[in-house]
Structure 1
Amino acid sequence: MTRDAPAHPRVVLVTGPPGAGKTTGSRILARHYGWAYLDADTMYQPMLSALIHAAGFPAHDRSPETLIRAGRNPGNDALEDVIIDNVSAGVSVIATNTFRSRLSTPGWLESFRERVAAHGGRVVVIWVIAAEPIIRERILARQSWRDAWKLANWDRWAKAALRPAPPGVDAVITNDGDLSAFEEALIDVCDTLLEVGSRRQRTVR
């Protein structure tokens, strides 16, 4: 189902830990609204892998220390700039990334909202979560080499990645594997936030 383009562009940031279902959720919303879809993994994973290699680390090493040393910020900056490019052209965007570090940075979300508002747009942030056993099962099932570090250091990774949503999130939605219920909850919440403008954080289970 494709909606008519809104009078002012919208940006929906779909985030959450790996394996929670943010990519699935983003695709659902992009298809529903007919808006541009931006996936951070598609955009800059090749660049990130090259940066990791250039820094002298194995390509599969996605530990926090390696990501910091390799310089992940340029990729995040690029994603934000592409979002703004779309908004400046009047195009609404569904974007997915693990935005935790950005959302946890004081002032980042306010600054990003201001950048979008400068072009007449507004931002909604959706946090997708799932139970730890479900996330582990999904990560194992996708058999990605990028998950090797996570699986080898699961307790450490899970402790850092599966924390509650950071401040600024507009809605928290649980994806327990029921795709129909997940789709319905996503669309219901986004319709409300995008059309009514509520900024109260909601939890949908």
Structure 2
Amino acid sequence: MTDQPRPPEELQRGTAALVIAQAIRNDIQAGRLAHGRQLPGTRSLAQTWNTSVATINRAMALLAEEGLVVNRARSSRIVHNPVGAADKQGSRVILIGGYAGSGKTELGRIIARQTGWAILDKDTTTRAVVEAALEHLGHSPHDRESETYLTAIRPAEYEALMAALDENLQCGSSVVVTAPFIKELSDEAWCDRLSATIAAHNGTLRVVWVHCDPITMLTYIRRRGAARDDYKLANWNKYVENLDAAFKPKIPYARVDNSAGARPLQEQAKDLLNEMAEL
């Protein structure tokens, strides 16, 4: 609530309450304030909005009349918006990681087509901004190996991706998220934060690691012809030597094999969804 705009002091008495009620109403109906959440106390809200306790009480009274806020003992107020809340099962999140060319995006698209869930692919979501930022910093827009990219750009990429995931969770939407996630899934603390975030939204998480043999990955990368892969293709043997073929995320996960001769991804996607339905 601390990021709410403050009404001008010259607003007439009563108008400020309408402005505050409108802003809080919008946050409730947009899912930013979830059903069942306790609102900050009256004095805290008055300080945030730079107004009086009486004005906050008038705003809360308006929301209570609409049924969006329930007053409880000792000035405790609870958000009441069950229509806008997620279903009992909550949001489902499938987070898919894998090396470049492993087929993680294809798996994500297959699952999204089967379910109708939103899909958030890192490259699709952030590529244009990443390329513009790299050019602004004097690098090739296709750079994915320099220290500048790894320390300045990449963290922001993933922050934006996870913020988009969080916004979908606030809306009660189920999501498929695809990105390499190599550094992230190697970090137990990051995995714990991910689990806690999804649990806070009453969601269900399934992490998937897509395995693919180097020859098949090379075939996929050549076929897609993305400029960001130029370095990998020019230094393929060196690149492959640095891959951990036995990589295991620091979180419970399912393994999907997309090597040549493996079961079709569509069949493996159905298995994943059946497993999630049983959770």
Question: What does the per-residue CA deviation read over 1:7-39, in whole Å, with 9 as the maximum and x for residues that have no partner?
Answer: 310110011011111111001101111111111
Contact 2:89/2:203 (CA < 8 Å) preserved in 1? no
Counterpart of 1:187 in structure 2 is 270
What secondary structure, in the 3-state scheme, does the structure 2 residue paired with 1:80 have? Answer: helix
Distance across 1 between alignment mates of 2:127 and 2:248: 24
In structure 2, the CA distance between the partners of 1:56 and 1:70, relative to structure 1 (3 Å rule), is: farther
Structure 2: any 5+ residue segments left out of the alignment? 1-86
Distance across 1 between alignment mates of 2:99 and 2:248: 9
Counterpart of 2:154 in structure 1 is 72
TM-score when scaled to structure 2?
0.64
Distance across 2 between alignment mates of 1:182 and 1:175: 7
What secondary structure, in the 3-state scheme, does the structure 1 residue paired with 2:256 have? Answer: strand
Superposed counterparts of 1:186-205, under 5 Å: 186-192=269-275, 194-197=276-279
Counterpart of 1:7 in structure 2 is 89
Decide which structure has the larger Cα Rg and report it: 2
Counterpart of 1:174 in structure 2 is 257
The Cα RMSD (Å) is: 2.0
TM-score when scaled to structure 1?
0.85
Distance across 1 between alignment mates of 2:262 and 2:177: 20
Q: What amino acid maps onto 1:111 in structure 2? A: R
Superposed counterparts of 1:100-115, under 5 Å: 100-115=182-197
Aligned counterpart for 1:26 among listed residues 93, 103, 108: 108
Counterpart of 1:123 in structure 2 is 205
Distance across 1 between alignment mates of 2:100 and 2:262: 17
Distance across 2 between alignment mates of 1:159 and 1:174: 20
Aligned counterpart for 2:224 among listed residues 130, 142, 153: 142
Distance across 2 between alignment mates of 1:126 and 1:106: 16
Of the two structures, which has the highest relative contact order with CA contacts closer than 8 Å and spacing of 6 or more? 1
Counterpart of 1:36 in structure 2 is 118
Report how many aligned residue pairs link the two structures. Answer: 192
What secondary structure, in the 3-state scheme, does the structure 1 residue paired with 2:94 have? Answer: strand
- 1:146 positional shift: 1.1
Aligned-residue sequence identity (percent) comes to: 31
